[in-house]
Amino acid sequence: MNILLMLAILYNLLVLCYFTLLNSMYLFLNLVAFFRLRNYFREMQVVDLGRRFLSSFYKPLTIIVPAFNEEQTIVESVYSLLQLQYPEFEVIVVDDGSTDTTFNQLQEAFDLYEINRSFDQALPCKTIKGLYASVDHPNLVIVNKANGGKADALNAGINVANFPLFCNIDADSILDADSLLKMTRPFLENRHTVAVGGIIRVSNDCLVKAGKVVEVNIPRSSLARFQVVEYLRAFLFGRVGWGSLNNLLIISGAFGIFKRQAIVECGGYRTDTVGEDMELVVRLHRLNRIQKKRYEIQFTPDPVCWTQVPERLSGLSRQRRRWQRGLAESLHFNREMFLNPRFGTVGLLGFPFFVFFEKWGPVIELTGYLVFLLSAFLGILNVPFMLLFLTMAILLGILLSTSSIVLEELSFRRYRRLKDLLVLFCYAILENFGYRQLHSWWRLRGLWDFYRRKQGWGQADRRSFVMQNAGSKSAKGTNPGAQSRELE
C-alpha cells in the first residue's frame, strides 16, 4: 500500500509538471503569434499584391489535386480552381484509380482528349494509364493512374508538373481567389523558402456560389462549432507561432505550397503512412539539416482554404484517430531528430514538444484522470489544492481558446456578426467540459492503432454544399453544383 501511495503521489507530480510545461509553451506560442500577426498586417499594408506578383518575378505554379471517388465534388472543385487569381498556373487532377464516375464526370464537363506529354519520372508511383487535356481549359491536365493512395497520387502529380512550385489541395476544398498570390509571397522574398502552409477554415453552413465562399457563417452543428474554435486555436497561434520559430512540423495536406525540386530531392511523399503531409515536412527539416542547407518552412496566416469538417461523432473519431496515427508514424520515421543538437532548435524544441505533448499527451492526460480518482480513493488528495489545480486548468484552456478568437477578431474578422462571436466564445468555454476529454480518448485510440500497425484511411464522411445551403436561410440563389467533404 505504501508503494501504491508513493506511485500515486509521484504521478500526480508528473501530471502537474506536464500541465505547467504544456501551458507555458502554449502561452509562449500565443505571444509569439500575436507579434507575428501584428507585423504581418503592417507588412501587408505596404505590399501591393497585384503589382508585385504580376511583375516578371512571379513563379509559375502547379496545383495538384489527388482524387479518389470524388464524383460528388470534383467538377465544381476544378471549376473553382480554374478561376483563381494567379498569372500563370496549371491544374493537375490525379484520378487515383477511382471506382465511381469521377473520371467520366471530368471528361463530360471539360471535354477531355488524350495527349502525349513527356514528363520526368522523378518519383516512384503506380502506372500512369493516360494524360488528358481540356478543349476549353488549356491549363487543365487530368492524370488517369492505377490506385496507389493519396501520397502516390501526389507523387504522380509532381512528376507531371511543369512548374517550379506546386500546391497540393484536397478535391473537396475551396480556395479564396487571391490565396495563391499571398501564399507564394515568401518564395519571392526569400529564395531559401522550400515550403509554405496556409490556414484551413471550416466551411460548414457557409454560403457558396460558383465555387466561392461568399458568406461566412458559423455551423449549426455543435460538433462543427467546437471544431471552428479548435481550428482557430491550432492555426492562429499554434502554426503561426511554430512557423515564426522555423520549427513548423505540419503543413496541412489540404493546403500547402512546395518547391518542386526540394521535394524531389528528398524523395517525395511516403506511401506507407497516413500522415504523409506531416512526414514530408519533418523529413524536409531533417534532410536539410543533415546536408547543412539554408532553408525556411513558413506559415502564412491570411490565405484560406475552406473545407468541411465532420458533423458526426463517428466521422470525427475516425479522422482524429487517423491524424494521431499519422503523427506517431511521422515522428517514428524521423526519430533520430529527437533531442539531437545536430538538428538545431527543431531537434531540441519542436520535435520533443510533439513527442511529449502531442504524441504522448493523451496518455498522460487520461491516466492522470484515473490516478486522480485513485488518489481520492486512497485519501491522499489535498482537496483545496486539487480544486485550485482543476480551476486553473479549465481557465487556462478557456484563455487559450478565447485568445485565438480575439486574434481572429483583431486580424481577419471573418466572423463579422456579434452573435457569431458570442457563440464561439461560449463554445470555447464549453469545449473544456467533455469535448477535449473525448478528443483525448480518440487520440489515445489513434496511438494504439499505431502500435498495433493498423493500415488504411477508413471511410470519409461526405456532405455537399448543396445540402448545407438548402438548409440555410440565406441560401437562395446558391449554385447547386458546389460541394465539399471533411478535411483530410
pLDDT, one tens digit per residue, over 68-99 is: 999 888 998 899 899 998 999 999 999 999 99
**List of the chain residues with pLDDT < 50:** 53-54, 465-468, 470-488
Whole-number pLDDT of residue 486: 32
Whole-number pLDDT of residue 56: 53
Q: Which of 307, 267, 295 is nearest to 283 (CA)?
A: 267
What residues are paired with 258 via a beta bridge? 166, 195
What CATH number labels 20-358?
3.90.550.10
- Give the cell for residue 97: 484509380
Predicted structure pTM score:
0.89
Residue 308, C-beta contacts closer than 8 angstroms, at least 6 positions apart: 172, 202, 203, 204, 463, 468, 484, 485, 486, 487
Whole-number pLDDT of residue 454: 80
Whole-number pLDDT of residue 385: 75
> What are the DSSP calls for 160-197, one per residue?
H--SSEEEEE-TT-EE-TTHHHHHTHHHHH-TTEEEEE
First to last CA, the chain: 48
AA letter at 166? F
Whole-number pLDDT of residue 461: 57
Rounded CA-CA distance 204/468 in Å is: 7
Rounded CA-CA distance 162/115 in Å is: 15
Rounded CA-CA distance 207/472 in Å is: 8
Rounded CA-CA distance 79/25 in Å is: 42
Q: How far is CA 340 from CA 291, 344, 347, 360, in A?
A: 15, 8, 5, 19
Phi, psi of 298 (to 5 degrees): -115, 165
Domain ranges in the chain are: 20-358
Rounded CA-CA distance 352/86 in Å is: 39
- Give the cell for residue 372: 486522480
AA letter at 7? L
- Give the cell for residue 291: 546536408
Q: Are 171 and 70 in contact (CB under 8 A)?
A: yes
